[in-house]
């Protein structure tokens, strides 16, 4: 049975702020979010003078002014922006650590592997469980929006990611790449073709964030026509996107393994030859120092999830 240190590791705080009170950081983030001491104090359920004193104390500890204050509110200084970028993942890591320690205190030695649809993680999970009979190795299906969130909030110890994602606060290890396909209705002009080029999609509507497919974004008619506002689509789950594709409301670009996972008779999948492959990585909190994480990372490289 691995010990608590092996299971949960420790936290190292980058940026030279090891001795900063996490409570003061929470106060700082609240003020940075509202840019107003009064509204932040209401959210934190403390008196505004107390909040102001805590922020002043934090500034003294860091030897930096974090907010430019006036009667209307507050604005982040350059130092404040820098601290905010590092404080948020640090507070998330602290919350995740509390979650892991609470589980250990209740005798629940658990390691959670998050994965995106289409990725098969069975063999790496089985190998870790076989090597540690007293350890419960669970899996957690994540979504595009949750794939890093599950690491920051402590729901997962490691997560299989599909790039691009915000990698701040994470250690990210590349695993493999795979082609991407466009999903079209069965009666679409591209259906039945083995492959296509992104130029063939220029006049189509994409049912996802254009930044996910920059090659399409840069040539898309709806994004380049003066005076023509682009159609907007809410961020949807894969299943919802596919329903919209089948109804003829637009197209979606998916990694090949995801498309295979969601095979439907009313849709066709056509490989796009001239866009970048999807990159799959394994990630965990950069602050974690865990032998189990290191061991699973090696297993993930040995047993591809494709």
pLDDT for 227: 63
pLDDT for 216: 93
pLDDT for 296: 97
18-52 as b/e, with b when 16 or more CB fall inside 10 Å? eebeeebbebbbbbbebeebeebbeebeeeeeebb
The residues of the chain scoring below 70 in pLDDT are 1-20, 96, 100, 102-108, 227-236
pLDDT for 171: 95
Which tokens in the block code for residue 209?
Answer: 């964030």
Domains plus CATH for the chain?
A: 4-95 (1.10.10.10), 109-175+279-302 (3.40.190.10), 180-276 (3.40.190.10)
Q: Report which of 161, 124, 168 is spatially closest to residue 146, judged by C-alpha positions.
A: 161
- Whether this prediction's pTM lies above 0.85 is answered by no
Query: How deeply is 226 buried, as exposed, middle or buried, from its count of CB atoms within 10 A (0-12, 13-18, 19+)?
Result: exposed
CA 98/CA 87 separation, integer angstroms:
17
Ramachandran bin of 52, using left for φ above 0, alpha for ψ from -120 to 50, beta for the remaining angles? alpha
Query: How deeply is 17 buried, as exposed, middle or buried, from its count of CB atoms within 10 A (0-12, 13-18, 19+)?
Result: middle
Q: Are 195 and 271 in contact (CB under 8 A)?
A: yes
pLDDT for 176: 95
CA 64/CA 56 separation, integer angstroms:
10
CA 12/CA 57 separation, integer angstroms:
22
Query: How deeply is 106 buried, as exposed, middle or buried, from its count of CB atoms within 10 A (0-12, 13-18, 19+)?
Result: exposed
């Amino acid at each position: 049975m691995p010990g608590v240190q092996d299971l949960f590791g420790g936290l190292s705080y980058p940026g030279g702020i090891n001795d900063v009170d996490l409570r003061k950081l929470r106060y700082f983030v609240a003020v940075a979010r509202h840019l107003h001491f009064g509204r932040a104090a209401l959210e934190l359920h403390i008196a505004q003078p107390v909040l102001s004193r805590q922020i002043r104390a934090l500034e003294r500890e860091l030897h930096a002014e974090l907010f430019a204050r006036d009667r209307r509110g507050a604005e982040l200084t350059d130092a404040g922006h820098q601290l905010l970028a590092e404080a948020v993942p640090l507070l998330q890591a602290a919350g995740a650590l509390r979650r892991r320690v609470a589980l250990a205190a209740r005798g629940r030695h658990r390691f959670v592997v998050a994965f995106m649809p289409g990725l098969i993680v069975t063999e790496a999970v089985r190998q870790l469980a076989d090597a540690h009979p007293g350890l419960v190795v669970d899996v957690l299906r994540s979504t595009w929006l949750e794939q890093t969130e599950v690491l920051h909030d402590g729901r997962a110890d490691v997560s299989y990611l599909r790039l691009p994602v915000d990698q701040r606060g994470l250690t990210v290890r590349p695993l493999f790449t795979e082609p991407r396909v466009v999903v079209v209705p069965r009666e679409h002009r591209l259906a039945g073709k083995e492959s296509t080029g992104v130029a063939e999609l220029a006049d189509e509507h994409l049912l996802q964030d254009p930044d996910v497919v920059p090659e399409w974004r840069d040539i898309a008619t709806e994004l380049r026509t003066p005076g023509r506002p682009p159609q907007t689509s809410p961020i949807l789950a894969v299943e919802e996107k596919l329903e919209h594709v089948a109804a003829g409301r637009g197209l979606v670009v998916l990694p090949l393994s995801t498309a295979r996972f969601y095979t439907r008779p009313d849709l066709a999948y056509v490989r796009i030859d001239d866009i970048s492959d999807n990159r799959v990585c394994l990630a965990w909190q950069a602050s974690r120092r865990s032998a189990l994480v290191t061991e699973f990372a090696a297993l993930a490289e040995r047993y591809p999830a494709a």
